[in-house]
Amino acid sequence: MKKYILTSTLAALLTLGGLSVPALAGPEDVVVEHAWSRASIGMNRPGAAYMTIRNTGDEPVTLIGLATPLAMMPEIHETKTNAEGVSSMSPAGEIAIAPGESVALEPGGLHAMLMRLQELMTEGDTFPLTLLFDDGGEVTVEVPILGIAARGPED
Amino acid sequence: MRRRAILGYGAAGVGAVALMLFVGWWQVDGPGGPEPVGQRPVALTEMDFRLTDHEGNAVGPETLIGRPTMAFFGFTYCPDVCPTTLSDISEWLDDLGDEAEEMNVVFITVDPERDTVETMAEYVGYFHPAIRGWTGPEEQIARVADSFRATYERVPTESGDYTMNHSASVFLFAASGRFVTMIDYHEPREFAVPKIRRALEEEMEGAT
Ligand SMILES: [Cu+2]
């Protein structure tokens, strides 16, 4: 209810200002599940974190970036494997999630790439990872750090 | 009575068609499928390279002859694909149990600049104990990759480092050194383990 009022007020203000903007989707509509990552060997190697991001709201949400005290350059990456079996990785850009849809960050596909680690990723610890959305919304999750050979959130 | 017989043939016919479709799928796209011609590695007996394993031993293709081999390329600074492949392989080896003990399992780095013998030793230590880590001079790595028809490429990242694009398939060779098949990245375990068994069984045939 509170969110609805806030959104309407904002939309009204922006409309008055002559701007046309899509309705805002608050972070309360975003649910992050099954977050996990692998322990690092030292701090020179990049880490990777995985999770499922669900949009439970009525409006699309767009993930535009990441923030974490663990790494100087966290970024959403995508691994692709071509017809010749060659794998490569590149920044995934913005990720739009339609209402009711979810996006899986999982090994061999999308991942939260954690470049320039500031701390060791130690098995058994957790670290906070903030997802940044295009409407200014943020969602912070505590990501468990599993073993180096972990294959999924249940390992 | 007659009608029932016809119905019976009908059901058998449907079953036969389904079986044919399944066999067709198995041989064309499934685990029984042939590898694309031109991309197959040569036999280990035709390879010529000198590398060092993670315990400092000199190794080459001859090290692998006599036992079935599972080999793949990667690098230890790889955050996503390589640890995933190594943990997949660890799981397949666990599934195979005792059978896996008769295999060579080799992880060959495509990033010898960062992956020294010591680095490889530390890295493979986190996975199944059967996995060996091989590194060596850049030109020797290039020779191995060439023989495997594998490719790799150094790519700079925004963080000022570099990453490596590389072939992510797992290659299987028989004890004779003959190339058997490969397991593509993302291939489900239901396909991977039978393929490994194929490489293992070929050894049995050769032994008898
Ligand atoms: Cu990445």
> Average pLDDT for residues A61-81, to the nearest whole number?
96
Tokens of B56: 């400092």
pLDDT class of A65 with cuts at 50, 70, 90: very high
Quick check: A149 and B155 CB within 8 A?
A: no
Cβ separation of A115 and B157 shorter than 8 Å?
Answer: yes
A151 contacts in chain B (CB < 8 Å): 84, 87-88, 91
**Structure confidence by residue, pLDDT tens digits, B31-66:** 454 544 457 899 999 999 999 999 999 999 999 999
Residues of B in contact with A154 (CB under 8 A): none
The minimum CA-CA distance between B127 and chain A, rounded to whole Å, is: 6
Instruction: Kindly tell me if the per-residue pLDDT of B78 is higher than 50.
Output: yes
pLDDT digits (tens, 9 = 90+) for B125-184: 999 999 999 999 999 999 999 999 999 999 998 888 899 999 999 999 999 999 999 998
Report yes or no on A105 lying in a domain.
Answer: yes
A139 Cα–ligand 1 center, Å: 21
Q: And the tokens for A98?
A: 């339609």
Q: Which residue carries 């949009």 as its tokens?
A: A55
Collect all residues of chain B within an 8 Å Cβ-Cβ radius of residue A46: 77, 79, 159, 161
Q: What's the pLDDT at B159?
A: 80
A2, part of any domain: no
Enumerate the residues of chain A whose CB falls inside 8 A of the CB of residue B182.
Answer: 85
- Residue A3 domain flag: no
φ and ψ at A46, to 5 degrees? Answer: -70, 150
* Tens of pLDDT, residues A93-126: 999 999 999 999 999 999 999 999 999 999 999 9
For B64-75, the pLDDT digits (tens) are 999 999 999 999
Give A-chain residues touching B72 at CB under 8 angstroms.
Answer: none
Determine the average pLDDT of the residues in A80-102.
94
In a domain, A86, yes or no: yes
Asked if residue A60 belongs to a domain, the reply is yes
The answer to whether residue A155 is domain-embedded is no
Range of the domain at A142: 8-146
CB contact under 8 A, B91 and A38: no
Q: Which of A26, A37, A27 is nearest to A128 (CA)?
A: A37
**Residue partners of A72: CB distance under 8 A and separation at least 6:** A115, A116, A117, A118, B159
Q: Is B165 on the interface with A (CB under 8 A)?
A: yes
- A–B: how many Cβ contacts below 8 A? 89
> Cβ contact (<8 Å) for B80 and A111?
yes
β-pairing, B104-109 vs A110-117, is unpaired
CA distances from A128 to A25, A27, B69, B78, B199 (A): 22, 16, 42, 22, 45
Q: What is the pLDDT of residue B8?
A: 46
Confidence grade of residue B123 (pLDDT, cut at 50, 70, 90): very high
Average pLDDT over residues B80-90: 92
Contact call for B39 and A150, based on CB within 8 A: no
pLDDT exceeds 50 at position A15: no
What's the whole-number mean pLDDT along residues B94-120? Answer: 94
Q: Identify whether A152 is part of a domain.
A: no
In a domain, A1, yes or no: no
Give the pLDDT score at A112: 97
- Asked if A81 lies within 8 A of B166 by C-beta distance, the reply is no
Assess contact for B73 and B167: CB atoms under 8 A. yes
Q: Which of the four pLDDT bands, split at 50, 70 and 90, describes residue B17?
A: low
What confidence score (pLDDT) does residue B140 get? 98
Nearest to B167 among A47, A85, A147 (CB): A85
pLDDT at A46 over 80: yes
Q: Which CATH number goes with the domain that contains A22?
A: 2.60.40.1890
Listed residue (A112, A144, A150) closest to A128, CA to CA = A144
Cα–ligand 1 centroid distance for B186 (angstroms)? 17
CA of A90 to the centre of ligand 1 (A): 6
Mean pLDDT of chain A: 85
Distances (CA, A) of B25 to A10, B30, B32, B33, B192: 57, 6, 9, 8, 16
pLDDT at res. B187: 83
Structural domain count of chain A: 1
What CA–CA distance (Å, rounded) separates B9 from A57? 55
